[in-house]
Amino acid sequence: MAEYKHIVYEKDSRIAKVTMNRPQKLNAMFPEMEEELISAFRDCQKDDNIRVLVFTGTGRAFSSGEDVRVLQERAEQLKKASPEQKPTPTPMWASPIPRAMIDIVEKPVIASVNGVCAGAGYGLALASDIRIASENARFAHVYLRRALTTSCEVWFLPRLIGLGPAFYHILTADDMDAKEALRLNFVCKVVPQEKLEAETRDLALKIAERPPVATKFTKRAIYKGLLSSLAETMEFVGYARAAAAGSRESEEGRRAFLEKRKPVF
């Protein structure tokens, strides 16, 4: 396993855990840290012993987003560039991490939000499949405060909390506390700060007990359903069931049902 300087990457009991580890900078992201995160994504995906990925941060923040120093350097490069030298806008001008996680990790991802969650950190929480938050969590939608176009929130928020509330939070750029996040179904659970790690681990262990192949296809089907008709989604589900039908876990599921016992996947 690779060595990391800016994150802590641990594996235990079929769970991979990534802890963003720049507490003095509120776990702000910058290129070297983002490279480490992507390396951890790849390792998690290729390790067949891992069933769930958990994300959190060290200290009082989940992540405050992109490091302001990096954003300033990019702005200065644009300012100094001649019209011929100005870079063509690409998706990488937004934080690459939410997109990279979605593209690489097919396993369930849990964001364990322990504090400030802003900017690219907000996007990372959104790109996770499940969000559990401590009472200290605060979700800060900062883009319009900084005269920046909103990032992946424009796709995720309307689907998670509805169009009207999404417009409200994006356009006002108001912070959302844990209580409001739970009310809007942005997070699935809010717990006391001291119980967050244990509650997250219990949830991850529960999901890790599920059959990995069927879980992977189910995650794909859920996201496909956001973009497809019912008929297209059910066609995909039929394909997925056929693909998994001959697996060992499928056989174990049938046997456990007939033998009236808990399956072991």
| Residues 143-197: tens digit of each pLDDT | 888 787 788 889 999 999 999 999 999 999 999 999 999 999 999 999 999 999 9
Q: How does the average pLDDT of the chain come out, rounded?
A: 89
Give the integer Cα–Cα distance in Å for 168 and 152. 16
Domain ranges of the chain: 7-208, 212-258
Is it the case that residue 118 has pLDDT exceeding 70? yes
As a whole number, mean pLDDT of residues 115-124 equals 94
Among residues of the chain, what percentage have pLDDT more than 90? 67
**pLDDT for position 255:** 87
The CATH number fitting domain 7-208, selected from 3.90.226.10, 3.30.420.40, 3.40.50.1110, 3.40.718.10: 3.90.226.10
Position 106 pLDDT exceeds 90: yes
The stretch 206-234 carries a mean pLDDT of 92
- Residue 91: predicted pLDDT: 45
